[in-house]
Structure 1
Amino acid sequence: MLPITADSWSLLQASAVFALCALAIALGGTRITAAVDQLADRTGIGEATAGAVLLGAATSLGGSVLSVTAAWRGHPELAFSNALGGIAVQTFFLAVADMLYRRANLEHAAASAPNMMQNALLISLLALILIAPSLPAITLGGVHPVTPLLLGLYLYGLRLVRGATKAPMWRPRITRETREDRPDGASFRASLSRLWGEFALLMVVLGLAGWLLEPAATVIAAETGLGQTVVGVMLTAVSTSIPELVTAVAAVRRGALTLAVGGIIGGNAFDTLFTAASDVAFRDGSLYHAVPAGPQFWVALTLLMSGILMMGLIRRERHGFAQIGAESLAIALLYPLGVALMLSR
């Protein structure tokens, strides 16, 4: 039986809690995909918007709770590393989904104005986070001015994504491999109240798992000597991002390609708000100035990966080497290279 306080957990106990929470996040995230896909059809908001708002927020809930809890308990490095490491690994997962979709490159088949807009929003949010440490370390009520700017930019971006869904100013050329967002007849079998109830319950499960992950990750970082950046990027970020991998693969198999891409990019944009929420929870000044340079490397790397993804969505290569898009291949190589550079320091 576990001790009441996490401070007294052994490495074995912390690892067990970590594994159980990661499993709960994986299972809950998997089930929530089908619910979001059906809600997208039933509510008429579209797969891209559902991916950005519902699926992105739901699958990211465990990670957001973890980052906020870490910041509140005085671990800004873990909070920051978990947030930005999660965005990088989720972008890598999109390349994995492309490898599993054999009909055409995913960037070609899932091209849409909303997905382009979401990716542009993500790049803008990451750039703002990268600028923050260079600004004066002033706070208003313990909150750095970049934090409300992040929230405002995100909300404005969601409005633009919504506009790109309802009244796009341009459309990608439709080809034989392009998969458009069309309602699935199976979406209308379950009642709308049941779908929302299932969605809410799964959100609670993901949130509780994220809350328990933070003390387990802190113990693992202290007991193994790996440090909070490595644990944040390699362990918590990957484990809390498992739903993105599972949901992307599941969505691709269901033929919901726009949802697969929109869920990853939308989840990444939502994940930038981890830093904003963590800055509010962190009571010792500006979170952006409290983390070392190491975690900021992942902001720059993710910017690079997102820019390459944007080029892939614009270029729309139909078939690449081994049926993998050149941009996906580049992303698949960049992420492990970043991990290797981090571990070599």
Structure 2
Amino acid sequence: MPIVDPDSWTLLQSIGVFGVCALVIAIAGTRITRVVDQLADRTGLGEATAGAVLLGAATSLSGSVLSVTAAYRGHPELAVSNALGGIAVQTFFLAIADIVYRRANLEHAAASAPNMMQNGLLIALLALILLAPNLPDVTVWGIHPVTPILLGFYFYGTKLIQSAGENPMWRPSITGETRQDEPENESQLPALSRLWTEFALLMATLGAAGLVLEPAATTISSEAGLSQTIVGVLLTAVSTSIPELVTSVAAVRRGALTLAVAGIIGGNAFDTLFMAASDIAYRDGSLYHTMTADSERWVALTLLMAAILIMGLIRRERYGVGRIGSESLAIMVLYGLGVVLMFTG
């Protein structure tokens, strides 16, 4: 059986391809953190905007390609669960980054107006996704009306977030533990053209890995007897979200705390667009109306996690249980609850 033909892959071959793709995503995701951090300094975007837009989109590319491919190939359950599971696990990863940063709670140290606005945008987008299955199952050219609303809301919200970064009407109190964006000396940075070229190549690598990952995940689901929701939430969502974990931990260790938080929250907001893109790719009606009870439960849990996170960014608790934020602990518990309910609910 030729390994180049995805339809002929065995379970063992699919697991091998899946593992290689996950490794490629992890390596490319690690590299792209440094590039985005330098682009933020070179372009003057700032860590919050660069993290939300550039890093968030880049590290989410493999997941978006997977969801769109799955929807186009007639696997809406995998497309939906990968998109929604990715948002949930990436929020969980932010709690892991908080554990890594021992100086203070990450939400205290990296509080900023753009990060809180980005999280507010995420909550609004998730609410639209949760609302869509309860609206009439009407499509125009095979596209549900919520899809253009979702896209428009995202781009308008991103514009507002950039404005909040440039001309903030609110600023967090500066404490001894607060870390702000301190640009590197431009003379020590690579040329802007080189940075953009490297960024584009790494994005292409992440996209290609996501494209190959989809047929491997579909085969694993069918051959191992697992539902596409379980495969999407626990396998593809986690593997395509590895860059968010790696980049957040790497950014924390580099001292780029705002970038670490913005990369996760921005990636989550960008991931909601997986649903819009997948709805366009899905040709058998509205993708939102294929959502299972498990998928809707993950949206509700993620909404709760995002709400807790934004409250943590406003409250800015310096130290919590085990020197991590109380909100980080709550997020980890909620994610674990979601996994348990998926197997027992």
- TM (norm. structure 2) is 0.98
- Deviations, residues 29-68 of structure 1 (Å, cap 9, x unaligned): 0000000000000000110000111000000000000000
In the alignment, which residue of structure 1 is the partner of 2:37? 37
- Deviations, residues 314-336 of structure 1 (Å, cap 9, x unaligned): 10001111111100111111111
Give the secondary structure class of the aligned counterpart of 2:39: helix
Is the 8 Å Cα contact of residues 148 and 276 (structure 1) preserved in structure 2? yes
Is the 8 Å Cα contact of residues 42 and 186 (structure 2) preserved in structure 1? no
| Deviation of the 1:243 alpha carbon | 0.3
In the alignment, which residue of structure 2 is the partner of 1:55? 55
Mapped pair 1:64 → 2:64: yes
Structure 2: runs of 5 or more not aligned:
none
In the alignment, which residue of structure 2 is the partner of 1:244? 244
In the alignment, which residue of structure 2 is the partner of 1:144? 144
Is the 8 Å Cα contact of residues 42 and 188 (structure 1) preserved in structure 2? no
Is the 8 Å Cα contact of residues 38 and 187 (structure 1) preserved in structure 2? no
Q: Aligned partners of 1:329, 1:282: CA distance in 2, in Å?
A: 37
Q: Aligned partners of 2:59, 2:65: CA distance in 1, in Å?
A: 11
| Deviation of the 1:186 alpha carbon | 6.8
| Deviation of the 1:189 alpha carbon | 2.5
Mapped pair 1:77 → 2:100: no
Q: Aligned partners of 1:47, 1:241: CA distance in 2, in Å?
A: 20
In the alignment, which residue of structure 2 is the partner of 1:269? 269
Mapped pair 1:203 → 2:211: no
Is the 8 Å Cα contact of residues 60 and 240 (structure 2) preserved in structure 1? yes
- Residues 307-322 of structure 1: matches in 2 within 5 Å? 307-322=307-322
Give the secondary structure class of the aligned counterpart of 1:238: helix
Give the secondary structure class of the aligned counterpart of 2:55: helix
Amino acid at match of 1:56: G
Moved more, 286-295 or 128-137: 286-295
| Deviation of the 1:2 alpha carbon | 3.9
- Residues 1-345 of structure 1: matches in 2 within 5 Å? 2-185=2-185, 188-345=188-345
| Deviation of the 1:7 alpha carbon | 1.6
Q: Aligned partners of 1:312, 1:200: CA distance in 2, in Å?
A: 34
Amino acid at match of 2:251: A
Q: Aligned partners of 1:201, 1:231: CA distance in 2, in Å?
A: 28
| Deviation of the 1:187 alpha carbon | 7.5
Runs of 4+ in 1 over 6 A off after TM superposition: none
Is the 8 Å Cα contact of residues 103 and 177 (structure 1) preserved in structure 2? yes
Q: Aligned partners of 2:230, 2:104: CA distance in 1, in Å?
A: 35
Is the 8 Å Cα contact of residues 2 and 13 (structure 1) preserved in structure 2? no
Q: Aligned partners of 2:187, 2:301: CA distance in 1, in Å?
A: 38
Q: Provide the aligned length of Structure 1 versus Structure 2.
A: 345
Q: Aligned partners of 1:99, 1:171: CA distance in 2, in Å?
A: 25
| Deviation of the 1:185 alpha carbon | 2.4
- Deviations, residues 195-247 of structure 1 (Å, cap 9, x unaligned): 11100000110000000000000000001111100000000000000000000
- TM (norm. structure 1) is 0.98
Amino acid at match of 2:15: S
Percent same amino acid among aligned pairs? 73
Q: Aligned partners of 1:317, 1:342: CA distance in 2, in Å?
A: 32
C-alpha root-mean-square deviation of aligned residues, in Å? 1.0
- Deviations, residues 132-174 of structure 1 (Å, cap 9, x unaligned): 0000010011000000000000001101100110001110000
Is the 8 Å Cα contact of residues 143 and 280 (structure 1) preserved in structure 2? yes
Is the 8 Å Cα contact of residues 71 and 282 (structure 2) preserved in structure 1? yes
Q: Aligned partners of 1:120, 1:187: CA distance in 2, in Å?
A: 37
